[in-house]
């Protein structure tokens, strides 16, 4: 039987951020409002990538098989190892790693990684790790300056990854409606 890919991967962080938004004061500080908005945009992008990887896996993978499967478009390959589904390019510029057991999703480019894990959002750049607890206003506010500085790059990387994956889906004729 194939892997069970649960929407919990993206639902947990989105729900955590929604609860945080509800706890905000009526007029939050601008830097905090910008950080919350940026985190929300990043999570929406991660959700779109999650939906694509789930659709690609469900439409191209042979049940019960592990290994590497070339998708035949844009040098993308699908790798299934244990509880992980990995979509990556042969030129190692982009990797998306979905762990179905731990319910984590990572999107990596050459020098940047964003990962969602439960109620946490991680940004990893140049060996530095920024962990933001999405259900903790104080944590978001404390890290908002650095987060806001990096979020533009993260959003661009997520959008680029999504666009490249979407082109692959269209080339393969995979029926991923509404994504």
Mean pLDDT by 10 residues, the chain (179 residues): 80 94 90 94 95 87 71 80 85 86 92 93 92 93 92 93 88 81
pLDDT of residue 1: 47
pLDDT of residue 20: 93
Residue by residue, what is the 3-state secondary structure of the chain?
CCCCCCCHHHHHHHHHHHHHHHHCCCCCCHHHHHHHHHHHHHHHHHHHHHHHHHHHHHHHCCCCCCEEEECCCCCEEEEEECCEEEEEECCCCCEEEEECCCCEEEEECCCEEEEEECCEEEEEECCEEEEEECCCHHHHHHHHHHHHHHHHHHHHHHHHHHHHHHHHHHHHCCCCCCC
d(CA 77, CA 6): 21
Give the total number of structural domains in the chain.
1
Q: What does the block give as tokens for 98?
A: 């979905």
Any domain includes 153? yes
Any domain includes 117? yes
pTM above 0.85, yes or no: yes
Any domain includes 178? no
Any domain includes 2? no
pLDDT of residue 25: 87
d(CA 124, CA 104): 15
Any domain includes 177? no
Q: What does the block give as tokens for 127?
A: 């060996």
**Closest alpha carbon to 96 in 116, 70, 67:** 116
Any domain includes 49? yes
Which structural domain, as residue segments, surrounds residue 32? 8-172
Tokens 């661009």 sit on residue: 156
pLDDT of residue 178: 72
Any domain includes 136? yes
74-77 contacts at long range (C-beta below 8 A, 24 or more positions apart) = 74/164, 74/167, 74/168, 74/171, 76/164, 76/165, 76/168
Which residues pair with residue 131 across a beta bridge?
A: 122
Any domain includes 21? yes
pLDDT of residue 64: 65
What's the alpha-carbon Rg for the chain, to the nearest Å?
17
């Amino acid at each position: 039987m194939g892997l069970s890919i649960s929407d919990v991967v993206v639902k947990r962080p989105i729900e955590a951020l929604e609860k945080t938004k509800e706890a905000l004061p009526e007029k939050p500080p601008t830097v905090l409002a910008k950080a919350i908005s940026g985190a929300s945009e990043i999570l929406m992008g991660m959700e779109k990538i999650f939906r694509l990887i789930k659709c690609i896996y469900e439409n191209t993978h042979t049940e019960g098989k592990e290994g590497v499967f070339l998708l035949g478009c844009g040098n993308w390959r699908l790798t299934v190892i244990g509880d992980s589904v990995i979509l990556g390019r042969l030129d190692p510029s982009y990797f998306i790693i979905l762990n179905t057991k731990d319910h984590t999703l990572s999107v990596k480019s050459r020098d940047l990684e964003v990962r969602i894990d439960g109620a946490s959002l991680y940004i990893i750049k140049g060996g530095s790790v920024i962990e933001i607890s999405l259900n903790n206003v104080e944590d978001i506010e404390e890290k908002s300056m650095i987060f806001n500085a990096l979020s533009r790059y993260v959003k661009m990387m997520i959008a680029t990854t999504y666009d490249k994956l979407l082109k692959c889906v269209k080339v393969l004729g995979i029926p991923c409606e509404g994504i």
